[in-house]
Amino acid sequence: MAGLKLDIFFAFLLYVSVVSSPACCIARLVDQLNYKASSCKHVPLFVFGDSYVDAGNNNYINCPEINRANYFPYGESYFEKPTGRFSDGRTMADFIAEHANLPLLPPYLQPGLDDYYDGVNFASGGAGNLEETFQEYHVLSFKTQIGHFRKVVQWFINKLGNDEGKKAISNAVYLFSCGGNDYLSPIFSPFQKHLPYSDSEYQELVFGNLTQHIKEIYDLGARKFAFMNLPIMGCLPAMRIYKPETNGSCYEEMSSKTRTHNQALSRILFELSNNLNGFHYSLFNLVGTMRKIMNHPKKYGFKDGKSACCGGGRFRGIQNCGQDENFELCESPEDYMFWDSYHPTERAHQTFADIMWNGSSRSFISMVGPYTVEQLFQIEVAGNTNPIDYIKNTSSSSQKYFD
């Protein structure tokens, strides 16, 4: 009976608006009513970052083939065609969306896209925290991605009105994968090979930009952030063959930068959570998870944790997957942690996303915190500032995971 009265009320409200309001106001009211009818625990997901979560934005920008994934065999395992994802199938962002009962999020640059109720993917392969990172590839930098997000915020406000639009933005979850390219670009980019900075000075630049970007997104209304630390950079198949004198071992210089970055990321997020009202975050220990699989692949359901499924040369560390006739392709990508010389397989992405979502895997203990991503989706934000009705991951302290 209560539901019937509510339906009658909404119908009456719509009738009054139709006879007394201009067409633009009527359209907004219809959007608001439709949104309210479907928004019971409906939480959008917005994705920022690099090729680990790119859904295909690089398909629509003028970047070279090496920085796109819109050709065979990319996408073969799930989509049976290339989509622009740097994997044989879905990515962590896709699996998180599925866990949240959302559709796979489209890339922001997809032509004709005009609906953002469920969220959208801004990520771009090659992007970094620094504007200069791989800019010769014309990638969408973190700063550019935030510019696109500003337009989406305005879209929500235009569609739902100021209060409901801001509430939707504040209740959304924001997923980030960013930082690795800031350390790869000085190695491979001719524009960054001779930077006048020490390692510590360069990292300060990276984190200065990252902190600024997080605060910008926070100022636009975001309150629930999901991060992952850097992957196992020094042990990527491409890095194992970068220095021949290492004889296939991990590249220690890159591993050292990864450790320093990840320690700083943990500290900075902890500080932001103490200084920004309503800032809640999840940090996934991606490097630790990858190290476990690399060292004991069979224990975690893989057969190979060091070599790529697709590529050339030793460890298939040459990044030529699908790009020339000399590339090699394994028979079973699900047996490998790495799809190509830099990126995980769909199977690995699913493993990572499952841990991020609920942190309940007995094989990967203490790899996410202080919240799981599932808990972030459960947090309800009143207006655009005050969090209510949430469950903290009380089994851990805020910095327990982030070494």
Tell me: the pLDDT tens digits for 89-118? Answer: 999 999 999 999 999 999 999 999 999 999
What is the share, in percent, of the chain residues with pLDDT greater than 90? 78
The torsion angles phi and psi of 230, rounded to 5 degrees, stand at: -65, 145
Q: Which two tokens stand for residue 51?
A: 């090729």
β partners of residue 183: none
Domain boundaries, the chain: 51-388
The pLDDT of residue 399 is 52
Degrees, nearest 5: CA angle 149-153-157: 165
Listed residue (217, 184, 278) closest to 47, CA to CA: 217
Task: Report pLDDT digits (tens) over 183-238.
Answer: 999 999 876 666 788 999 999 999 999 999 999 999 999 999 999 999 999 999 99
Kindly tell me if the per-residue pLDDT of 289 is higher than 90. Answer: yes
Q: Which of 25-34, 66-75, 129-138 has the lowest mean pLDDT?
A: 25-34
Give CA–CA dist 150/166, Å, rounded. Answer: 12
Task: Report pLDDT digits (tens) over 225-250.
Answer: 999 999 999 999 999 999 999 999 99
The pLDDT of residue 38 is 44
Give CA–CA dist 276/297, Å, rounded. Answer: 40
The residues annotated with a catalytic role in the active site are: 51, 340, 343
Name the 3-class secondary structure at 225. strand
Q: What pTM value is reported for the model?
A: 0.88
The pLDDT of residue 388 is 38
Peptide bond into 103 cis (omega under 30): no
The pLDDT of residue 15 is 44
pLDDT confidence bin for 381, thresholds 50/70/90: confident
- Would you say domain 51-388 falls under CATH 3.40.50.1110? yes
The pLDDT of residue 400 is 46
Q: Residue with structure tokens 């771009």?
A: 124
